[in-house]
Amino acid sequence: MQPIIDRFISYVTIDTESDSKSNTTPSTSKQWDLANKLVAELKTIGMQEVTIDDKAYIMATLPSNVDHEVPTIGFISHFDTSPDFSGANVKPQIITNYDGQDIVLNAEKNIVLSPSYFKDLLQYKGQTLITTDGTTLLGADDKAGITEIVTAMEYLINHPEIKHGKIRIGFTPDEEIGRGAHHFDVAKFGAEWAYTMDGSQIGELEYENFNAAGATITFKGKSVHPGYAKGKMINSMLIANDFINALPKGETPQETKGYEGFFHVHHLTGGIEETVLELIIRDHSKKKFEKRKELIEKITRKLNKKYAKQFGEDIVIAEIDDQYYNMKEKVVPVKHIVDIAAKAMNDVAIKPIIKPIRGGTDGCQLSYMGLPCPNIFAGGHNFHGKYEYVPVESMEKAVEVIVKIAELTSQPNYGLPVSKKKK
């Protein structure tokens, strides 16, 4: 347990927050700090073909130790953290033998991690938790995944009696801003399939995710002295409010679950002359996803028509960009790769929780780039905020799952779909 704790803390105390407003890759120069550390560490533990490119994408190889042909598989995680909450000066707290009661993260600010609100905490009673100090996120998304992959590779290197095929690992920047796979060289990676270690609670195994788009809506106004504004002023903030109110009620992140899609207003800035609204659009169903985008355009047209006589031009401008699509379409034809992960979990006494991701991973885009890539739990909870935590035992189990997948896929025919198995 202690080596996992030490490795994880060494990662999360390095600030790697990404920035969606940057046009560089990685989007922040500080991501290089952890990237370079990881390269050195991979070489130290004995990984081969360790590379880092000019955009900070890291790849490495654990060579096969079997003499028969088996598929090359991969494991992938990202090292950036979300810009939704500060990732600077992370001060992890270690709670041993968790007693099931409230955890005071920060007494001065009265920030408490309570099982009365976060009920998942109770399933980890008696375990060791790593939490924040209430002032930053933790970074288990996805430094827990990196910890698990590196630890599993080190374990396999130190235990050559465990048979495995060729394993490729990859660490990416900028996943949290939707760009993690944009410069990932699938051909160079050279795996038949991979797994992202980027899920949440222990047991999660996911091969369905949202179709995702981002929308930026700009509202134009006219500023006039309020004392003389009758029939002249157009307040762009109020038009933005009209737009938000026209979105379907009850279809927000906090009011949906499972396969239910949503609209999420996540930034709103402006004044009388101009207001900019940023929102994301999510749905597992491709048909419903397209209808959601159509609704944004319909609301835009309606508001422009309403103000056409007064303003003389369009005052609402909507820009919609697709971000990623449901990986299910690409994974179902090779469903045996999900079955392998499920068996690995069962073999190490974990009940697989197969459910759709209410979000996305690098694997969503990679699956459409030719690298089918289901998602496996990394163990953390409450990502992107001050209540984030991870049970160390969950990270240990994730390491066991990686090792077991390596073992299973080293068996003749095991890593092949039924149609390709040799008789």
399, two tokens: 């390491």
Active site residue 347: no
346, two tokens: 């069962």
DSSP per residue over 74-127, as a string? EEEEE--B-TTS--SS---EEE-S--SS-EEEETTTTEEE-TTT-GGGGGGTTS
Q: Which of 15, 17, 175, 283 is catalytic?
A: 175
At 255, give phi and psi (nearest 5°).
Answer: -120, 10
Q: Which of 15, 17, 80, 142 is catalytic?
A: 80
d(CA 395, CA 146): 10
Residue 219 DSSP SS3: strand
Q: Which of 15, 354, 338, 78 lies closest to 201, judged by CA?
A: 354
22, two tokens: 């940057």
Distances (CA, A) of 274 to 198, 219, 227, 308: 38, 6, 20, 17
131, two tokens: 């939490």
Active site residue 17: no
- The number of residues making up the chain comes to 423
d(CA 202, CA 391): 9
d(CA 181, CA 165): 24
Residue 381 DSSP SS3: strand
d(CA 233, CA 229): 5
Catalytic residues: 80, 175
